[in-house]
């Protein structure tokens, strides 16, 4: 766990959790693609590898102490999904919990995203889509829910590089029915993996869409740069609009970060701080574990706040001031 996360929890005045109910530390958990749902005063963390029988979840009161894994969906006899139970995400939508999750279909021979529902974040979840809700003729992984300003639900997902003849993945989006059981209309490709100047691979992993306080859409997603797996950012004014790629990743392996890592998402902790969740490392040097970092919404951008010295904090404050000035100028110019 990052030092920052521990500091955040201490600043919240969180006491020691029960060792019996929450026996694990974050460093004890080995998963990929961590997704955190904050609900009713607790954190629910889902991820690839949290259950060997389907999809699983860990529960915590403070981001430090965690429960043993709970299986929230167990593959029933005859279920079409037979392997690759990847990247489960749990979203609270219109009073119920919805699991967006990837699996490999024995019928189509493809990986895709399906949608499950439950009245509890711990399940049991039941399939509500007709198998994969994403196009069944190709590999479409890592689906996530985005609800636009009009209340229309969308699924944003990966057209995996494995189904493209040039080996370059794409990010795509499609409208969902109000009950989240099916796609409505034709999916649209949003961008390709090779668009960022830093991209060194054809991967498009783990989309997550966040709306800044100025209304800008920022999509977190992952690919590789020359040093490893990274957390990139793309910007747009609307989900089907033109997406512009960040000049450099939000998180990458460099002089400050000893690990590579990615497949991120954003949540607000119980103390009101904006956080990203990623897995790191991704290079197989060690087992992948979840990690949390504080980020700041600067209006037109997100800034990673991992300063550990006074000088680094000074530089971060300068970047934040500049970003907020740009956001104010942009808003004033639009008016």
Structure tokens at 147: 């609800």
The domain that holds 18 is classified in CATH as 2.115.10.20
Alpha-carbon dihedral sign for residues 33, 210, 132, 45 = positive
CA distance 207 to 234: 10
Percent of the chain with pLDDT over 90: 82
Number of domains present in the structure of the chain: 1
With CA atoms as reference, report the closest residue to 102 among 124, 83, 126: 83
Q: Sheet with 205-211: list strands edge to edge.
A: 205-211, 217-225, 228-236, 244-245
User: What is the per-residue pLDDT across 269-309, written as a single tens digit (0 to 9) for each?
Assistant: 999 999 999 999 999 899 999 999 999 999 989 999 875 55
CA distance 279 to 257: 13
Residue 320 has pLDDT above 80, yes or no: no
Residue with tokens 């998180």: 251
pLDDT band at 332 (very low <50, low <70, confident <90, very high): very low
Peptide bond into 201 cis (omega under 30): no
Q: What per-residue confidence (pLDDT) applies to 202?
A: 98
DSSP for 40-102 reads: TTEEEEEEETS-TTEEEEEEESSSSEEPPPEEEEEPPTT-SEEEEEEEEEEEEETTEEEEEEE
Q: What per-residue confidence (pLDDT) applies to 8?
A: 44
Query: Which of 313 and 35 is assigned the larger pLDDT?
Result: 35
Q: What per-residue confidence (pLDDT) applies to 47?
A: 98
Percent of the chain with pLDDT over 70: 86
CB-count burial class (<10 Å; 0-12, 13-18, 19+) for 284: exposed
Containing domain of residue 12, as a range? 3-334
User: What is the per-residue pLDDT across 139-158, written as a single tens digit (0 to 9) for each?
Assistant: 999 999 999 999 999 999 99
């Amino acid at each position: 766990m990052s030092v920052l996360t521990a500091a955040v929890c201490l600043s919240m005045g969180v006491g020691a959790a029960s060792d019996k109910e929450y026996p694990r530390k974050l460093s004890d958990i080995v998963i990929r693609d961590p997704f955190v749902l904050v609900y009713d005063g607790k954190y629910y963390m889902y991820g690839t590898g949290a259950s060997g029988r389907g999809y699983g979840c860990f529960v915590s009161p403070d981001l430090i102490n965690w429960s043993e894994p709970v299986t929230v969906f167990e593959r029933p006899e005859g279920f079409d999904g037979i392997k690759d139970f990847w990247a489960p995400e749990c979203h609270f939508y219109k009073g119920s919990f919805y699991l967006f999750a990837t699996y490999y279909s024995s019928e189509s021979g493809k990986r895709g995203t399906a949608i499950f529902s439950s009245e509890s974040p711990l399940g049991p979840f039941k399939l509500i889509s007709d198998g994969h809700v994403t196009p069944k003729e190709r590999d479409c992984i890592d689906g996530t829910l985005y609800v636009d300003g009009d209340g229309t639900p969308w699924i944003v997902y990966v057209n995996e590089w494995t189904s493209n003849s040039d080996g370059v993945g794409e990010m795509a989006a499609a409208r969902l029915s109000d009950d989240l059981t099916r796609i409505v209309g034709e999916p649209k490709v949003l961008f390709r993996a090779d668009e960022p100047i830093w991209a060194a691979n054809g991967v498009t992993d783990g989309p997550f869409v966040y709306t800044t306080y100025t209304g800008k859409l920022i999509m977190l997603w992952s690919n590789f740069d020359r040093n490893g797996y990274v957390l990139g950012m793309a910007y747009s004014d609307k989900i089907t609009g033109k997406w512009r790629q960040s000049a450099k990743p939000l998180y990458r392996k460099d002089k400050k970060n000893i690990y590579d890592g990615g497949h991120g998402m954003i949540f607000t902790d119980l103390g009101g701080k904006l956080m990203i969740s990623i897995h790191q490392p991704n290079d197989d040097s060690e087992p992948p574990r979840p990690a949390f970092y504080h980020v700041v919404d600067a209006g037109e951008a997100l800034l990673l706040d991992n300063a550990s010295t006074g000088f680094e904090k000074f530089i971060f404050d300068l970047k934040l001031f500049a970003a907020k000035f740009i956001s104010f100028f942009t808003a004033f110019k639009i008016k």
